[in-house]
Structure 1
Amino acid sequence: MVEQAETVRDVVVVGGGAAGLSAALILARSRRRVTVLDAGAPRNAPAQAVHGLLALDGLSPLELLRRGRDEVTGYGGEIISAEVAEVSRKSLGFAVTTRDGAVLHAHRLLIATGLVDEMPDIAGLRQRWGRDVLHCPYCHGWEVRDHAIGVLATGPMSVHQALLFRQLSDDVRYFSGDQELSDQDRAKLDALDIPVIAGGVAGLEIVDDRLTGVRLDDDEVVPVETVAVAPRMVARAEVFAGIGITATQHPVGSFIAADETGRTSVPGVWAAGNATDLSAQVGAAAAGGARAAAHLNADLVAEDTDRAVARLTNEESLR
C-alpha cells in the first residue's frame, strides 16, 4: 500500500501512561497530528494512589490517566485503545501495526511503553503487589511508616532498599535468602539495627486478607506487616526490534537507551518514561515525556523549515 502524505501522522506515541500522555499533550498543543496507542496495562494499576506527585498526591492512578486522556483529546490529540504488534520503517517514516490489524503511519515515533516488574517466584508476592508488597519508599513509604517491614533480598539494590525503608520505620528486617552479604553491607545493616534473617523464603503468610508474616522454608513465620521487594524491571521493547530498537541490559533489568532529550540511536525515534529511565516516578516520567515531545517537535519544525526553504529555492530557480 502506498503511503499518502495527508494520512501520515506527525507522531505516533506508543504507550498511554504518564510519559506518553504528557508527550501527546505537548505535541497536540503544538498543533501536531498525534495519536497515542494505549494497550491499557499501566504498571501502577495495582496501586490505590499516586504519591509524591506535586498537587496530585493521593490521586488514583486510573483517575490520573483519565484526566490526562481528556486533556490530550481536548487539544485534538487522538487516543486509540490498542496493543502494538509490529513497527517497521517506511518511506515517510514508520508503520505501526496493532494486534487487530490496523496500520498507522507516522513521521516520528515516541516510545513510552514503560516496563514490566518481574517478581521473584515467591508464593503470594504477585497477588499482594501494590497493596502490602511494595518496592519504592518514595511512592508508598509514608503509608507504611512505623510498620514492621520485611525486605526480601532479591537483587543488587536490596540492601540499599532496606536502608531507605529504615528511615521510615524502626522495625525493618532483612531476609537474606540465598544472597551472600558483604562485610560492608552487613556492617551497614548492623549499624542501623536491621536484623538479618537467613534461610529461604517460601511465601507470605496471609490471614483474613492481611499480610501477617513471611514464611521461611523451615515453616517458621516471621511477623511483618509490609514486604519490600526489588523486582527485575524490564523495558517493553520487543515490538520495536524491526526498526533497530533493542533493550540495553542493566543490573536491575533493562531499558531503551536514549540521550537527555529522549532521542534514541534510531533516526526519528524518541523514548521517554520508565522505558528509558528505570527509576522514574510518575512525575519524572511525565516530565520526561514533555521534554522528549518538545525536542521531537523542534526536530519536526527544523525538517518542515528545510523543506520550505528547498521549495522556495526551487521556485526561484525556475523563474
Structure 2
Amino acid sequence: MNEPVRSFEVVVVGGGAAGLAGALTLARARRSVLVIDAGGPRNAPAAGVHAYLGMEGVPPADLVAKGRQEVASYGGVVESGRVVAARRTEQGFEVECEDGAVVAAQRLLVTTGLVDELPDIAGLAEHWGSGVLHCPYCHGWEVRDQPLAVVAGGPVAVHASLLWRQWSDQVTLFAHPGTGLGEPEREKLAARGITVIDSPVQAVESGPGGVSGVRTADGAVVAVNAVVVPTFMRSRSELLVDLGVEVSEQWMGEHLMGTYVESDPNGATSVPGVWVAGNVTSVSEQVIGAAAAGNKAGAMINADLVMAEAEQALARAGQDVQAEPVR
C-alpha cells in the first residue's frame, strides 16, 4: 500500500442509506468522517423508495443526493471511489482505493450492501426493479390487483406466493422442477386462490408497458403484469473477509437465501474497530431499516471512540503524575 495522505477518525465504505446515516450521526458528533462510495446501489432500478416515513416515493438517487448534502453540511466528506483493500495498522486501519489513494482511519463502518443474483431466465434482468420484483413491501402497492407470476422453488415458493396474495388475488406460482410441493402445500395455495403451474418459466415476455407475460417450457404464454422472483442475495463482503470478519449463510428452512456478515445488534463485528450496517449484514433490510442501522452503528462507533479517548487521557494523566519530581 501507498503511504496514507489523509487521516479520519472514521471511514465509511459505502454511501447508501446505511452509510450516509452512519456518517451523518458521526459528523453531528463532531467526528472527522469520510464516506467512500462506489455507486451501483441495489435499488438503482427502482422508481422510488417506499415505506420510508416522510420520504415515501422519493427516487433512490434523490435520497442519496440529499443524504450527501446533509453529511457535508456537518463537515463530513463524501467521495466517489471504490475501496479495494483494507488492513489493520497500529493506529487503526488503512483503506486503499482503486485509484491508489490510501486513507487512514481509527474505525471502519462497512455498508457495502448486497447483490441480487437472478435465475438464468431470459428477460428477467431487463425488467429487474420495474416488472420483475422481489419485495412486496417495496413494490406490492404498485402492482396491486394485477395478475402476478411467482417464479420460485423450494419452501420459498409457498411463502412468496402467500405473501404476494395480500396484494393481488391473481397470483400464479410457476414452480421450479423438484420444488417439492406436497399435497398440503398445494391445498393451502388453492385455498387462497393461487394457481400452480408445474411447467417452468423459460422467458419473460415484453410488451409496450413492460412485462406482458411469461413463456413456459411447454411453449405456453401466460399473461401477467409483473413477475416475482426471490433472488439469491449475496453480501458484498470481500473487504470484510480480508479483515477476518465472518460471513454466514442465510437459510429459510432448506432454502439458501443468501449470505450475510455477522455482527451484534449494534453492528459491531468480531473484528475490533470494524462495524457493519444495512444489507451487508441483513439481507431483508429495507431502506428505512438500513438507515436506522447506520444511525445506530454511527452512535456506537462514537461511543467506542469516546471510551478509548478517556482511557488514553487517563494513561497520559498517570504518566504526568509519575513524571513530577519528588519534593
Question: For this structure pair, what is the TM-score category when the shorter chain's length is used for normalisation?
Answer: over 0.9
Contact 1:247 1:255 in 2 (8 A): yes
Aligned to 1:291: 296
**Structure 1 residue 245: Cα displacement:** 2.1
Task: Return the letter of the residue paired with 2:196.
Answer: V
Aligned to 1:186: 186
Aligned CA distance change for structure 1 residues 47 and 155 (closer, same or farther; 3 Å): farther
Task: Return the letter of the residue paired with 1:289.
Answer: G
Secondary structure of the 2:234 match is strand
Aligned to 1:201: 201
Is 1:264 the counterpart of 2:269? The answer is: yes
Which has the higher mean CA deviation after the structures are superposed, 150-159 or 140-149?
Answer: 150-159
Partners of 1:129 and 1:298 in 2: how far apart? Answer: 40
Aligned CA distance change for structure 1 residues 134 and 9 (closer, same or farther; 3 Å): same
Aligned to 1:222: 222
**Structure 1 residue 173: Cα displacement:** 0.5
Partners of 1:130 and 1:2 in 2: how far apart? Answer: 40
Aligned residues: 318
Partners of 1:300 and 1:122 in 2: how far apart? Answer: 49
Partners of 2:113 and 2:293 in 1: how far apart? Answer: 12
Aligned CA distance change for structure 1 residues 79 and 317 (closer, same or farther; 3 Å): same
Task: Return the letter of the residue paired with 1:82.
Answer: G
Task: Return the letter of the residue paired with 2:64.
Answer: L
Aligned to 1:313: 318
Secondary structure of the 1:27 match is helix
**Structure 1 residue 183: Cα displacement:** 3.3
Contact 1:154 1:229 in 2 (8 A): no
- What is the percent sequence identity of the aligned residues? 48
Contact 2:246 2:270 in 1 (8 A): no
Contact 1:82 1:98 in 2 (8 A): yes
Contact 2:241 2:247 in 1 (8 A): no
Secondary structure of the 2:233 match is strand
TM-score (norm 1): 0.96
Is 1:242 the counterpart of 2:242? The answer is: yes
Which has the higher mean CA deviation after the structures are superposed, 58-67 or 158-167?
Answer: 158-167
Partners of 2:301 and 2:276 in 1: how far apart? Answer: 10
Contact 2:3 2:102 in 1 (8 A): no
CA RMSD in angstroms comes to: 1.5
Aligned to 1:39: 38
Aligned CA distance change for structure 1 residues 230 and 313 (closer, same or farther; 3 Å): same
Could you report, residue by residue, the CA deviation over 1:125-146 in whole angstroms, capped at 9, with x for unpaired residues?
Answer: 0110111111111111001000
Aligned CA distance change for structure 1 residues 154 and 49 (closer, same or farther; 3 Å): farther
Partners of 1:154 and 1:38 in 2: how far apart? Answer: 35
Partners of 1:85 and 1:29 in 2: how far apart? Answer: 28
Partners of 1:57 and 1:87 in 2: how far apart? Answer: 36
Is 1:28 the counterpart of 2:27? The answer is: yes
Could you report, residue by residue, the CA deviation over 1:176-224 in whole angstroms, capped at 9, with x for unpaired residues?
Answer: 0212213332222111010100112110111225211110012100111
Aligned to 1:19: 18
Which has the higher mean CA deviation after the structures are superposed, 77-86 or 157-166?
Answer: 157-166
Is 1:252 the counterpart of 2:251? The answer is: no
Partners of 1:88 and 1:246 in 2: how far apart? Answer: 16
